[in-house]
Amino acid sequence: MKKRKKVILAVLILVLLVGGFFIYDFVMKEVNGEAKYLMLDLIGDKEVVIKFKDEYEDLGAKASYKDEDLTKKIEIENNVNFEQIGTYNYTYKVKYKKQTKEIKRVVKIVDEENPILKLNGRSTIVMVVGNKYVEPGATASDDYDGDLSDKVIVDSSNLNINKIGTYKVKYSVTDSSGNTVEAERVVKVTKKPPANQKIAVLNYHFFYESWSENCHESLCLKMDKFRQQLKYLKDNGYYTLTMDEFVKWMYGEIEVPEKSVLITIDDGAHGTSKINGNHLIPALEEYQMYATLFLITGWWDINNYQSEYLDVQSHTHDLHYEDSSCKYRSKVNCISYDALLADLKKSIAVVKDTKSFCFPFYEYTSTSIKAVKDVGFKVAFVGEWRKATRNDDKYKIPRYPIYDSTSMETFKTIVG
């Protein structure tokens, strides 16, 4: 009997042990959530690379337990700063039946864009042998780092200002991500001009396309003629001066290449701005020729004349009228000194420069010249049909008016 009881007890213990094992195994499987049942997977790649400033829409993740969709139960956290390059994480978590699963997506924000490097001034400088080279510099900007102008490296070690030849000045800038961009400026060192150097100052007014527009004034110039003239200057090595260069030459501060010419345009009317025909600026940019526009600042918006190849100077603010009430043609010479001074100051406030002034109708008096000097202009232009020299009165600088009737042969003689 005792033996039987022992057997029964042993069987019960075995049953309890086996049953307990299965119960424990069942409970632990439920507690541990068997990986094959609780699923959490990324939608898309495990690592994503995003260019700085590009838009990013995360694809998320999906979760399930057996046949049950748990995607809506996913909790998403991220530490991504889209305004700063770096490596970040999207973290996805799902909790179910006391289980937690977690998965991560790596998000890298990178800057792969090169900085923008822009040379100040001319891409090709022509200078006289022995003259001091003044570095115009360059500006640089980056979509991530912002202004990098102070990071620009300039290498002019190849330049020899004392020897005639063609040289290259090299520029480079690197952003914080290691993106580098380079540029070059050509510097041509030429022979000295003659001591009595003369410079042709060309004077234009209006431009039009003969095949689509009409302009019946003698000062109107067909664009095909203007392009032909610019092409001639370019093909024959003429150096179109900026107003700054011309003024410095007049004052003996610098030497300029022997074949130099100054292009000027008066008024700001037909074909000279971006809203009244837009012929002048595209032609200058096409041939990379520099010019100066004398603008009547009270008549047209200076913002419509913006180009690196076009300098804007004063042609009065609102005095470009003929006045039949006095003995002079130009109203500039028919008003008081104080009234003229007030107008000139208004014009200066617009152009923000006092390098040069142009007299309307090429007409001046001692009073108007005094006003131009007193307000601060360094030079002033008139007419006269001859080349300018350093011996000229700086407030009566001569120019050659260019008409539609000016032949190409005449043009060559003027500049030659």
Spatial distance between the Cα atoms of 379 and 355, rounded to a whole number of angstroms: 7
- Whether 399 and 264 have beta carbons less than 8 Å apart is answered as yes
Q: Tens of pLDDT along 314-333?
A: 999 999 988 888 888 899 99
- The pLDDT > 70 percentage for the chain reads 92
Task: Identify the burial level of 17 via C-beta atoms within 10 angstroms of its C-beta, where 0-12 means exposed, 13-18 middle and 19 or more buried.
Answer: exposed
**Quick one: CA torsion of 387, 390, 396, 398, rounded to 10 degrees?**
10
Residue linked to tokens 């033996």: 3
Q: In the chain, where does the domain assigned CATH 3.20.20.370 lie? A: 200-415
Check if CATH label 3.90.1150.10 holds for domain 116-190.
Answer: no
Q: What residue ranges of the chain are covered by domains with CATH 2.60.40.10?
A: 38-110, 116-190
Segment holding 174, helix H or strand E: strand 165-174
53 contacts: CB under 8 Å, gap ≥ 6:
143
Per-residue pLDDT of 110-148, as tens digits, reads 999 999 999 999 999 999 999 999 999 999 999 999 999
Task: Indicate the length of the chain as a whole number.
Answer: 416
The pLDDT of 181-198, averaged and rounded, is 95
Question: Cα separation of 291 and 200, whole Å?
Answer: 13
For residues 322-348, average pLDDT? 92
pLDDT digits 0-9 by tens, 254-284: 999 999 999 999 999 999 999 998 999 999 9
Q: What is the pTM of this model?
A: 0.77
**What's residue 288's pLDDT?**
94
Give the architecture-level CATH label for domain 38-110: Sandwich (2.60)
Tell me which architecture the domain covering 200-415 has in CATH. Alpha-Beta Barrel (3.20)
CA atoms within 13 A on the CB side of 190: 18
Which residues does residue 221 pair with via DSSP β-bridges, in sequence order? 207
Would you state the structure tokens that stand for residue 137, as one six-digit string? 């510099």
Q: For the segment 50-97, what is each residue's pLDDT rounded down to a tens digit?
A: 999 899 999 999 999 998 999 999 999 999 999 999 999 999 999 998
Of the candidates 305, 381, 397, 396, the residue with the CA atom closest to the CA atom of residue 350: 305
Return mean pLDDT, the chain.
91
List pLDDT tens digits, range 39-49: 999 999 999 99
- The confidence score (pLDDT) of residue 307 equals 95
Across the range 156-182, mean pLDDT stands at 97
- 138 exposed, middle or buried (CB, 10 Å; 0-12, 13-18, 19+)? buried
Separation in Å, CA 31 to CA 4, 24, 37, 38, 382: 40, 10, 12, 11, 98
